[in-house]
Chains A and B, each alone.
Chain A
Amino acid sequence: MLKDITLKDKRAGLAIATALTLTLSGCATALGNGGVSGSTATTEASSGKGSDAARSAADPYPSTYRPLASRPTLIRNAVVLDGAGNRINDGSVLLQDGKISAIGKDIKAPADAVIIDAAGKWVTPGIIDVHSHLGVYPSPGVRAHSDGNEATAPVTANVWAEHSVWPQDPGFVRALAGGITALQALPGSANLFGGRGVTLKNVPARTVQGMKFPDALYGLKMACGENPKRVYGSKGRSPATRMGNFAGYRESWIKATDYKVKWDEYEAKVARGDKAKAPTRDLEMDTLKGVLDGDIIVHMHCYRADEMAQVIDMSKEFGYQVGTFHHAVEAYKVADLLAENGTCAAMWADWWGFKMEAYDGIRENIPFVHQAGACAIVHSDSEVGIQRLNQEAAKAMADANKAGLKISKEIAWTWLSLNPARSLGIDNQTGSLEPGKNADVVLWTDDPFSSYAKAEKVYVDGALVWDLNDRTVQPVMDFELGQPGAGDAK
């Protein structure tokens, strides 16, 4: 069920019924106004290394992720899709020291390598989901776990999704069984500025820091359209309309521009060796300034074509780039505009109709965006959908080809790995099977464009983290331990 629309209705689970209570569950988070955390970290700027200090202040919860132990592994005789648009039949991939060390036809295995004969099987890069609420809306979806929408004010750029992520969410393991090796956990869409998203490696850890993708940029979740105006309009406050939404964004960007000027001036003085007093830090503004500085990537929930066009103009007004439109149900109507502006669209294959702004969904949206030369991405926004994004790509590709396009499986896989990696700014590290990149790899039992294929082995940084046929390589989260069905095949 889509996070965007559900308020987990445990009675009926009727999509229709839930759609009306709508939204709150799906997209939005935050820490209340002027959240206290972090406010002590800052006066160091006067020490003369303002920029560094600001940067370290920008990473106060650093990744502690370390790859699990791995052995050199050669997978051979597989159909290999490299995620960058190429296919090798009877191909081999060598994983060594956590990296892809070779890909091709005849690759020699090091003496100590595990050799997997993958005849009849397929190998791809791990799937990357740019839109997940795993951890922030974990299972079980009880009220006590509803940590994805700080729906107390329309602008909550001060909150960070990682402070809500519950690393024990069983959904992470289900996603792993579906070949997901990295994902972005996002705040929901109740707010104009929902807060920061965080990019995670899909590996079990006790802390979210243990999952954080090292050096990945932060994302900023923003939202267009119905959700913010409904959530706040129903409380009798702005925004209550789409024009109110835009006024809200623009007022914040104006403030952020001022904030940035103050910090830039301060840092220039410090650089010149002049005496200077650091401006007062503001968590909300820190994040928006990060966008204006190009250090934080904008991920904007936006369904309608006309709204996407308005948002692109707004980004030019304030000098930032919209990284990716999420959901983008009408992206096919402005795919050329997305291509021109270098903005990705992250989409479902066939979800539509649950609200007005999703009424014009078509099954060829993803491939049409691709065909126009824009960066097309398959996303989930769902703890169910994330388990089989490969099938979503398959549906979209097949529908487009039946309508006359000619899109191959090797091209369609770019929607699942390299394009989402671009969207998250981690494409220099993962997203395709290129020598030197992280060995984030899935071995599929069969053609992953089939309903019948399953991820047989999943590797993150070369380490085997999921094995369909070995229960000892199937993580069980604490919540499920000792419960009915613990350790069962899920």
Chain B
Amino acid sequence: MKALATSLATSLMAGLSLFAGQADAQSIAITGGTIHSMGPAGLIEDGTLLMKDGVIEAVGDSALAVPDGYRVIKAEGRPVTPGIFAAFTQIGLVEVGAVEDTRDGSVRGDVPFHAAFDVSYAINPASSLVPVTRIEGITRAAVTASGGDHVLAGQGALIHLGEGMDLVTRPRAFMTAYLGADGGDEAGNSRAGAVIWLVNALKDANRYAKAPNPSEWAGVVSALDAEALAPVVRGDQKLLIHASRASDLLQVIRLKKEMPKLDLAIVGAAEGWMLADELAAAKIPVIMQPFDNLPSDFSHLAATQKNAARLSQAGVLVAIGDTGADSHNARLVLQYAGNAVANGMDWAYALASITINPARLYGVEKELGSLEPGKRADVVIWDGDPLEVMSSPDAVFIDGDEIELVSRQTRLRDRYMNLGGDQPFAYRD
């Protein structure tokens, strides 16, 4: 239905544009690019990409004709990729890390909801992090709840990083949970307790669904949380489980066997390579951080930068992101992916791990993650290999709109680029 509405709108807009007889900002052709489509079109040298009204219209080689009235951008051999998808962030939930008033990613204190906590109500489209991130080519992000002291952190959302007052494209897209050394307060701060608590919370959800009566409810989770977990146990909502030690990952695999309907993914998986075949067989994808190579605690003893390559080569669906949900530098996912390549990951797979793979992981691969006709027109033209630390975008499109490559940081840069002159800086642009 939505697709129909979009295509209707598309043809209407096209009609208007034709009638006006002038270039429509919404109709753009990128020509002469090295297109890494990350979709069925594969890699196209001297490729042409057409976008119109926020969606990709066509992707092809130089034989693809550019219709009249399109604004033409010559890529001149530069790489053209899908917009980057930051797989685990809190963009829009935090402005200044240490300023509590600007952090909305978790609930603290004695509240009757954790699973029911929903970050979508707090996402701030005016956050300075949005432009700072998108000018580096990141066009989409998953925004997670953070743990606090509980096994269940709450429900995360998917956002776009374009203009507008509403960034949320999919609220309640996933639930985030934490297993591991600390367990949670409610689970006795025990690794085993966390597993027991999580399993019982999910059982609660099933039980509550059969008799949804808050006033008579008794369970390990509140009625609110039992209700919120219903989509998880039905397999309609992705459950992300943050875990690192191999033994914890094994528990996640067991959970999947016991409750096959669960749509699981793992965040972290520092020791995942030790169970790569098992994770692949269980079809559990991971979001991981390729820099993770220190025994930072006793859950990371076997951490290695080879993890990303080993998991992907074993057939695990790997999305690269910051497993600590860094937001200010969510833009560094490209550097992470480049370093995964330096440590054995295939280059094209590394690009997939920050485009189509997160889209698949979150179940939005029909709309996002690759350059295919009908998908959202999130497109980046780069000045070099996007996984190289020296490269950056020359142009970024989100839903077909070209983003001005300006952020609060570039404004500060421009203001202080020349320290000479007598005019106080506050009067300068």
| Residue ranges of A at the interface with B (Cβ–Cβ < 8 Å) | 1, 5, 8, 10-17, 19-20, 22, 139-142, 170-171, 174, 226, 332-333, 335-336, 350-356, 359-364, 368, 372, 383-384, 387-388, 391, 394-395, 397-399, 402-404, 449-454, 479-480, 483-485, 488-490
Contact = CB atoms under 8 A, between A and B. Distances in A.
Contacts of B148: 17
Dominant secondary structure at the B interface: loop
Contacts of A398: 389-392
Contacts of B131: none
Nearest to A449: B390
Given A353-B96, A355-B97, A451-B387, A140 B305 contact: no
Interface in B386-404: 387-392
B97 A19 contact: yes
B260 to A, nearest CB: 28
Most B C-beta atoms less than 10 A away, residue of A11, A355, A359, A402: A11
Given A333-B416, A397-B390, A398-B389, A483 B295 contact: yes
Contacts of B409: 352, 361-363
Nearest to A23: B98
A465 to B, nearest CB: 19
A360 B291 CA distance: 26
Nearest to B144: A14
Contacts of A12: 146-147, 153, 178, 242, 324-325
Contacts of B297: 8, 10, 140-142
A352 B304 CA distance: 27
Given A5-B98, A484-B301, A16 B103 contact: yes
Contact of A368 (B93, B301, B343, B416): B416
A8 B302 CA distance: 18
Contacts of B96: 353-356, 359
Contacts, number: 197
Given A391-B389, A451-B341, A490-B304, A355 B99 contact: yes
Contacts of A450: 388-390
Contacts of A16: 90, 93-94, 97, 103, 105, 146, 325, 327
B190 interface: no
Most B C-beta atoms less than 10 A away, residue of A364, A404, A452: A452
Given A355-B98, A402-B392, A14 B324 contact: yes
10 smallest A-B Cβ distances: which pairs? A451-B338, A485-B302, A19-B97, A355-B98, A354-B97, A353-B328, A13-B324, A398-B390, A484-B302, A12-B147
B324 A363 contact: no
Contact of A353 (B97, B146, B383, B417): B97
B389 A451 contact: yes
A202 to B, nearest CB: 15
A364 to B, nearest CB: 5
A479 B327 contact: no
B16 interface: no
B313 interface: no
A20 B103 contact: yes
A351 to B, nearest CB: 7
14 contacts: A5-B98, A16-B97, A353-B129, A364-B413, A368-B416, A384-B291, A391-B389, A394-B390, A395-B390, A403-B413, A483-B295, A484-B302, A485-B304, A489-B305
B182 A10 contact: yes
A488 B178 contact: no
Dominant secondary structure at the A interface: loop
Interface residues of B, number: 72
A384 B242 CA distance: 20
B304 A354 contact: no
Given A11-B147, A388-B339, A402-B392, A485 B178 contact: no
Contacts of A479: 295
B146 A17 contact: yes
Interface in B239-257: 242, 246
Most B C-beta atoms less than 10 A away, residue of A20, A171, A359, A480: A359
B181 interface: yes
A10 B299 contact: yes
A211 B301 CA distance: 25
Interface string B284-302: 0000000101111111111
Interface of B: 90, 93-100, 103, 105-106, 128-129, 146-149, 153, 178, 180-182, 242, 246, 271, 274, 291, 293-306, 323-329, 331-332, 335, 338-339, 341-343, 383, 387-392, 409-410, 412-413, 416-417, 419, 425
Contacts of B301: 480, 483-485
Given A355-B96, A397-B390, A453-B342, A362 B335 contact: no
B294 A384 contact: yes
A452 B338 contact: yes
A335 B98 contact: no
A451 B354 CA distance: 16
A362 B146 contact: no
Contacts of A388: 339
Given A351-B329, A480-B295, 6 more contacts: A1-B324, A22-B98, A383-B294, A387-B291, A395-B335, A397-B390
B323 A362 contact: no
A22 B391 CA distance: 33
Nearest to B150: A11
Contacts of A336: 419
Contact of B296 (A8, A19, A395, A404): A8
Nearest to A446: B342
A335 B291 contact: no
Contacts of A353: 95-97, 128-129, 328
Contacts of B338: 451-452
Contacts of A15: 97, 324-328
B123 to A, nearest CB: 14
A176 B289 CA distance: 21
A140 B298 contact: yes
A352 B412 CA distance: 13
Nearest to A305: B416
A402 B298 CA distance: 43
A488 B103 CA distance: 39
A372 to B, nearest CB: 6
Contact of A484 (B99, B274, B341): B274
Contacts of A142: 297-298
Contacts of B326: 15
Contact of B339 (A351, A449, A451): A451
Given A141-B297, A354-B98, A485-B304, A11 B389 contact: no
Contact of B147 (A17, A399, A403, A484): A17
A391 B325 CA distance: 21
Contact of A170 (B149, B182, B294, B343): B294
B237 to A, nearest CB: 20
A368 B296 contact: no
Nearest to B103: A16
Given A398-B391, A485-B301, A335 B419 contact: yes
B296 A140 contact: yes
Contact of B98 (A19, A361, A368): A19
A394 B389 contact: yes
B108 to A, nearest CB: 10
B417 A403 contact: yes
A5 B329 contact: no
Contacts of A226: 98
Most B C-beta atoms less than 10 A away, residue of A13, A368, A388, A490: A13
Contact of B419 (A11, A354, A372): A372
